[in-house]
Amino acid sequence: SIASADMDLNQLDAFLTAQTKKQGGITSDQAAVIAKFWKNHRMKIHDSLINQSRWDNFLKNMNWRVDLKSQSRHIDQINTPVAIVEMELGKNGQ
């Protein structure tokens, strides 16, 4: 629940407090250990979940520009905008 909601420290505190008050829930010592672990490893856990949910390719880099023709045989083709997009894809895990 903590990882899927990507809880911040206030949300984590409220969640763990609720878990300690539940019948059959966790102890306050367990809550303290979970909170410390989450604070130290939140970004690693988040990145791991993202990598697990990603399929195959992902967008690694993107460059774009808009060009205008300044010379042409035909006058109606001058100042015609052309968008050029360069996308670099990466494989999951590379």
What mean pLDDT value characterizes the chain? 87
Q: In the prediction, which pLDDT does 92 show?
A: 64
Same domain, yes or no: 44 and 8 = yes
pLDDT at 93 over 70: no
Q: In the prediction, which pLDDT does 31 show?
A: 93
Q: pTM for the complete prediction? A: 0.54
Domain that holds residue 29: 3-53
Mapped to the 3 state alphabet, what secondary structure does 66-82 carry?
EEECCCCCCHHHCCCEE
**pLDDT tens track for 27-69:** 999 999 999 999 999 999 988 888 777 777 778 899 999 988 7
Q: What is the dihedral of CA 18, 4, 31, 45, to 10 degrees?
A: -170
Q: In the prediction, which pLDDT does 86 show?
A: 94
Same domain, yes or no: 71 and 43 = no
Same domain, yes or no: 30 and 68 = no
